[in-house]
Structure 1
Amino acid sequence: MTCTQHLHCHLQYNMANFSGGFRAQRKASYNAASTQKTGHNPSGNTRGEDGQETRVAIRDVTPHEANTVLVGIVITKQRVHTFPDKRNPGSMRCKFTFTLRDSPADYINATYWGSEDHLRQLHSSFKICDVVEVQNCQVSSKITSGDPQNDKWSPWTPSQYQVNISETYSNLSLYSGWDYTEFTALAHVPLRPPSDYHTLSDILSNGPSMDGSHINILAIVKHVCAVREMTSKNGKPLRKCDIHLMDEGCSHFQLVMWDDEMIELAQSWTPRENIIFAVDVKVSNDSYCKCMLATCDQKTIVITNPDSGEAHQLYQYAQTVESDLFKEPAGEDKRTSFTEDANDNISSISQVYTVEELKNEMSTRVGDDSCFTGILFAYLTTLNIDQGLGSVLYHRCTKCSFRVGLDSSLCLNKACSLSSPMAEGSFSSDVHYNMLVSLTDCTGTVDSVLLTGQAAYSLLTCSPAEMLTKNERTRTEIKTGLVLEKFKVYFKCLCSQKKSSVRILSMCMVDSREVTLA
């Protein structure tokens, strides 16, 4: 697919899903503001009363226009680079680049030039997902090896222009205007069509043909490793952070980060809670570990919890995966190849285990990164739905799917538009089941078995929202009717480096025809 075709598909997707309404709202907002200031503005941009300062949408920027002002959300940001000044031998120049976005389809690269002290102070004053205002910037055409759409050392952008910001003549500051939330909403809008990504198993199985290329990845955050301090060959200090990812077909894949800004963004991620859409990561074959991995470089942009059907579906899958799979020791640098996840269709499960046999199988598989399924005939011996709902239910923000407390009035995800105090009153959340139970037969007991989703709903015969409204007495009555009853339990056991754990796929009371099996 050519760049032009790719951009056409990208714009079609965004306009169909988000852009039309967003742009109409933004244009109406611009016009309203302009009417207040000047009485008329047919372009949809804003101009100060003195006519000297023009706020321009990224899609409308033109070269050599004086006193241009841009407002947008920072979707990626690179470190400060220092290099010799050719015009002044013996002195150094500094710059850093970031990417600004003000609509679903429009984003542009901006480079700030200046002295080292000034740039380092300014660089630390904002981060990815902040909304900034750039005043008196200069717009110019891209200068990239003869191809105007080939951004070699910075992210690809649909704009044919780039922005230059000067320490002497320009100003960059955090933005807190009346339309602030319209920009923060862009933090979760995908930069590419929803199906424009490779699955992790595709990367692993087609490794040699993809080595060195830039691709898009949609995946679950499995683990964020501790940041490691390193030194380059020329003595420069470096920081590295490994992110372990997974999806439906791959239980482990490594994403490597070297940039401080990207590493800081990753520190806000929670395993299982966050889905990432990583655009233009570089995939390579690690000869030392003999496996494929991905690296974030200057071209990479990462969208956290993208608002797309594919991302929501992957998030739902993450909630069905046993929680212990996400509990990896901090700082562990695990590099293993993937294993195929078993099919969770219970109709294909026939192997019957006793609790003792299940425990033995789990102990032999510790460290294998494998999984297996089976059937248990066992009594339900622990079901603590009457001891506080905090261990039974949890809430997720309806906007970004971030996990929040039962009594939260705002989203805890700082990148979500519903985390702002201005969103108080409009915040809403969905409630979900997540509890640990115990199962017992004549050979022993298996504790901390995860019961979630549809399996919990079928057992308790009420939705999570309905359970939230029930008093302690009613919950105790439900518990009394289930504990010490015998169930046929379909389970899936997931084995990680340190331990194995069990998740219930389905459970129902044993009927008379299965008494002999039980």
Structure 2
Amino acid sequence: THSWDREAIQLVQTLIPRETVLFIADVKISFDSFRNGMAATVNSKTIITVNPDTREASMLFSYAREVAESGALDQDEKAEDMSVDSITDVFTVSQLKEKAQESPEAFFGIMYSFISKLDLDSSVSKVIRTRCSRCKFQVTDDMQSCTNQLCPGRDQGLSATTGFDLLVDFSDHTGTLHACSLRSPVAEHTLGCTVKEFTSLTDEERTAMKWKFLLERCKIYVKILPSPKARTGIRGMVLACSLADPGEVKQHMSALVQ
């Protein structure tokens, strides 16, 4: 709403983002030149129902919760907003967390950290996921259409992408950054393995791949962004990750150790 209606403003201020479904009847729809698009305005005839007890509202809430937890609602899909080559700031884990508390905006950095959690030997369904290309809802390859009732392309044939979808922990002498997203195509470059190759590996080969990286010092390019759903209030997205050169680690980490 951009109405100056005091009651509407007070109501909206009490709502919890991503936790509330609204049914709004009788709003005025008009072109807003300031926003350069259509906007809805409440007036004296408008009726706002918070969390209506309807099937559609339940479906919408379930969809929003699943997509929010997947990270798809976070603005982390824009790989083009900064190239890896232009990222130069080096952080320890604690410095990343401190900066995230100071800034509500996403930022970028480099860590020389150990991978302390990498569940490559979990079931394949927890490492590789298939999602609808249109709404990011998790699906399976054998589906004819997306099961999300609110998917914009549900009436069309299923358009899906399959890739690595991992949550990785990074640790250094200052702490641990939990549940960083390591997804395709970055994961393929990091692991040196395609999705198809990974699915054909034996359990022993997956465990061997895990220990190639686990507890090894890596150079990680990461995007940090606020996330109300995350336990710590922030999320990390891995933009690039490789085993670190020992000389480079010594040079940078000696400057960071207080």
Q: TM-score, normalised by structure 2?
A: 0.64
What SS does the aligned partner of 2:81 have?
coil
**1:348 maps to which residue?**
86
What SS does the aligned partner of 2:112 have?
strand
Task: Tell me the alpha carbon deviations over residues 3-28 of structure 1, each in whole angstroms, 9 at most, x when there is no partner.
Answer: xxxxxxxxxxxxxxxxxxxxxxxxxx
Query: Does the CA-based 8 Å contact 1:342-1:372 persist in structure 2?
Result: no
Task: Tell me the alpha carbon deviations over residues 73-123 of structure 1, each in whole angstroms, 9 at most, x when there is no partner.
Answer: xxxxxx999xxxxxxxxxxxxxxxxxxxxxxxxxxxxxxxxxxxxxxxxxx
**2:137 maps to which residue?**
403
**2:198 maps to which residue?**
467
CA distance in 2, matches of 1:416, 1:343: 30
**2:161 maps to which residue?**
430
**Matching residue within 29, 34, 37 for 1:207:** 34
Alignment of 1:67-466 (within 5 A): 207=34, 210=36, 214=38, 233=44, 237-239=47-49, 269-270=63-64, 325=74, 343-365=81-103, 368=104, 370-397=105-132, 400=134, 402-406=136-140, 408-411=142-145, 412-414=147-149, 416-417=154-155, 429-466=160-197
Q: How far off its partner does 1:238 sit?
A: 4.0
Q: How far off its partner does 1:495 sit?
A: 1.7
Q: 1:483 to 1:265 in 2, by over 3 A?
A: closer
CA distance in 2, matches of 1:360, 1:238: 40
**1:304 maps to which residue?**
none
Q: 1:268 to 1:443 in 2, by over 3 A?
A: closer
Q: 1:454 to 1:342 in 2, by over 3 A?
A: closer
CA distance in 1, matches of 2:226, 2:136: 26
CA distance in 1, matches of 2:67, 2:44: 37
Query: Does the CA-based 8 Å contact 2:107-2:223 persist in structure 1?
Result: yes
Q: TM-score, normalised by structure 1?
A: 0.35
Q: 1:497 to 1:446 in 2, by over 3 A?
A: closer
% identical aligned pairs: 21
Can you give the 5+ residue segments of structure 1 that lack an aligned partner in the other structure?
Answer: 1-78, 82-152, 155-202, 216-230, 242-259, 275-318, 327-340, 420-426
Task: Tell me the alpha carbon deviations over residues 254-286 of structure 1, each in whole angstroms, 9 at most, x when there is no partner.
Answer: xxxxxx9x9799567547969xxxxxxxxxxxx
**1:500 maps to which residue?**
234
Query: Does the CA-based 8 Å contact 1:390-1:406 persist in structure 2?
Result: no
Q: 1:496 to 1:449 in 2, by over 3 A?
A: closer
CA distance in 1, matches of 2:94, 2:50: 43
Q: How far off its partner does 1:428 sit?
A: 7.3
Can you give the 5+ residue segments of structure 2 that lack an aligned partner in the other structure?
Answer: 1-23, 254-258
Query: Does the CA-based 8 Å contact 1:402-1:413 persist in structure 2?
Result: no
Q: 1:443 to 1:483 in 2, by over 3 A?
A: same
Task: Tell me the alpha carbon deviations over residues 42-74 of structure 1, each in whole angstroms, 9 at most, x when there is no partner.
Answer: xxxxxxxxxxxxxxxxxxxxxxxxxxxxxxxxx
Q: 1:324 to 1:353 in 2, by over 3 A?
A: farther
Q: 1:342 to 1:501 in 2, by over 3 A?
A: farther
Q: 1:324 to 1:377 in 2, by over 3 A?
A: farther
Q: 1:479 to 1:406 in 2, by over 3 A?
A: farther
CA distance in 2, matches of 1:393, 1:453: 9
CA distance in 1, matches of 2:85, 2:160: 34
CA distance in 1, matches of 2:173, 2:131: 39
Q: Which is strand-richer, 1 or 2?
A: 1
CA distance in 1, matches of 2:135, 2:44: 42
Query: Does the CA-based 8 Å contact 2:25-2:47 persist in structure 1?
Result: no
